[in-house]
Amino acid sequence: QLSVLLSLQLTSEDMIAAFSQAVDWAGCTVRAFAWHPHTNKFAVALLDDSIRVYNSNSATVPSLKHRLQRNVAAMAWKPLCASILAVACQSCVLVWHLDPTSLSTRPSSGCAQVLSCPGHSPVTSLAWAPSGERLLSASPVDTAMLVWDVSTETCVQLQWFGGGGVTYLAWSPDGSKVLAATPSAVFRVWEAQMWTCERWPTIRGRCQTGCWSPDGSRLLFTVLGESVIYSLSFSEYRGEMQGQVGGSKTASIVADLSETTFETLYGEERIGGEVHSMVWDPTGERLAVIIRGESPNSQPAVAVFRTRNSPVFELLPCGFVRGERGARPQLISFHPCFPQGALLTVCWSSGKISHIPFFFVGALEPHASPRRSPVPVLGSVREQPLFSEL
């Protein structure tokens, strides 16, 4: 519980910096990044507390500013909606209602809903239900996480004693479960129908990041202080087992990322260490992680793995993504509906954002959604150091 006490003494900015998914939240120009779940549109939160929304179909770049929009830690677009963006700020959650057809570059602050609850700040993580109806918000100092009905601005507190606040949230893509990491060496997995939870103590430190397989049956997570990726499998969700999370007994280690020497085009490099953030693409075929170097002269790097979830879980190394010389990766994210495979977006410390496409045909049968129908282009995964810029 020491870490809990420590976290209470931190200033809220330090706290956000400690728990943010960005590698260097305090110093980097890009603080948060979010793809729209259905369209080619993304939002970028900048160091000056403004948010820019880029759209592939329009040249206007709206810039969102609000009096309460300070120290943005996370952003999330509402699924099944044209343009509603939730922003985790220092004192509240702002929900921007943007008009997708508007040409204005400065939406007024009247477009933003303010969701605040006493004792619930700073907000460091947000998650929308995939069905678009509820929003979860979490703060490292509040032991309760809040379930919001955004349209009516009402919230329900989900409290579970012990473990301090909640630092990171991840809602599984099938909507059945939510990962809630705490500042202590414990994380919880909530089941999203009756809202009961299973508690998972870790050995070393707090859970730093986690991501779900597309069907919500597997959770990959990493722990602060360990350079491995754990996997936790859940019994398949059928809806009949109300109020059960159904996690397996123990988590297994699926990858060891301790420091090793690699021969690259630029000479020998040492890469490896703790994982800072981790994303899984919507088809479940690629996993990208930001590895923080262990030794001072090693660089943070983005490593990509090829994954398969069924019939057995497989995780194979695929390659590294490199930016411009001297640029360190800050944030990573996969495009939620890239039709030809997967599209990884990396925000670099230089302030540049690059999109790296991976062309492949899904191993699984094409998904139900017509947006994911396979395209008969047989691409190969490029394993050389990639460099592409927006």
Partner 1 sequence: AARAVIGRCQARRRRGRCVLGWRVAAAITWSVLLLPICTAAFIILSGLDPFHPVRWISNSFNDLYTSYVIFCIFLMSMVIIIISIFNIEFYAVVPSIPCSRLALIGKIIHPQQVIHSFVHAIMGMLVTWCATVMTKGRFQFLAVSCTPSEGLEDAVPQMCLNEYHLFFLLSGAFLGYSYSLFYLINNMNYLPFPIIQQYKYLRFRRSLPLLIKHSCVESLHFVRNFCVTYYFFGYIPKVWICTTMDLHTDGKLHPLDTLSGLLDLSLFYHTWLSGVFLLMTWYIAWLLFKIYATESHHFPIQPTFAQETDQCLPKILNSNPPLLIKFLALQDLMLLSQYSPVRRQEVFSLSQPGGHPHNWTAISRECLSLLSDLTQRLIAQQEAAAAANGRAKPPVGESSPINMSFQSQRSNIVLRASMSPLVKPSLMPVKTSPGSDVGSPFSSPALNYKMGVVDIKSPWHGPVQSPHVMRRGPKLWTSVSDQQMNGSHHESFPVLSAARTGTEAVQPRFIYTWLQNKQEQIKTFLSKRALIMYFFSKHPEASIQAVFSDAQMHIWALEGLSHLVAASFTEDQFGVVQTTLPAILNTLLTLQEVVDRHFKLPHVSSKPPRISGSLVDTSYKTLRFALRASLKTALYRITTVFGEHLNAVQVSTEHKKRLQQFLEYKE
Given the rule CB under 8 A, which residues bind partner 1?
A: 36, 38-39, 80-83, 100-101, 113, 117, 131-134, 147, 149-157, 159, 193-196, 238-240, 243, 368-371
Alpha-carbon 146 to chain mean position: 18
Q: Output the smallest distance, CB 336 to partner 1, in A.
A: 11
**C-alpha–C-alpha distance, residues 187 and 165, integer Å:** 10
Instruction: Give 117 or 228: the residue with its C-beta nearer to partner 1.
Output: 117
Q: Give the nearest distance from C-beta 99 to partner 1 in angstroms.
A: 9
Between CA 8 and CA 13, with CA 12 as vertex, the angle to 5 degrees is 135
Q: Which is nearer to partner 1, 39 or 91 (CB)?
A: 39
Contact 176, 244 (CB under 8 A): no
Comparison of 38 and 52: residue with beta carbon closer to partner 1? 38
In whole angstroms, the minimum distance from the beta carbon of 176 to partner 1 comes to 8
> Residue-wise over 221-254: b if at least 16 C-beta within 10 A, else e?
bbbbebbebbbbbbeebeeeeeeebbbeeebeeb
Comparison of 83 and 227: residue with beta carbon closer to partner 1: 83
d(CA 361, CA 286): 12
Cβ atoms of residues 228 and 222 within 8 Å? yes
Q: Which of 236, 324 has the CB closer to partner 1?
A: 236
Which 8-state DSSP code applies to residue 78? P
Q: Minimum CB separation from partner 1 for residue 233, in Å?
A: 20
Q: What is the C-alpha to C-alpha distance for residues 189 and 165, in angstroms, rounded to an integer?
A: 14
Amino acid letter for position 357: P
Q: How far is the CB of 158 from partner 1 (least distance, A)?
A: 8
Q: Which is nearer to partner 1, 28 or 126 (CB)?
A: 126
**Using an 8 Å Cβ cutoff, are 118 and 139 in contact?**
no
> Least Å distance between CB 390 and partner 1?
21
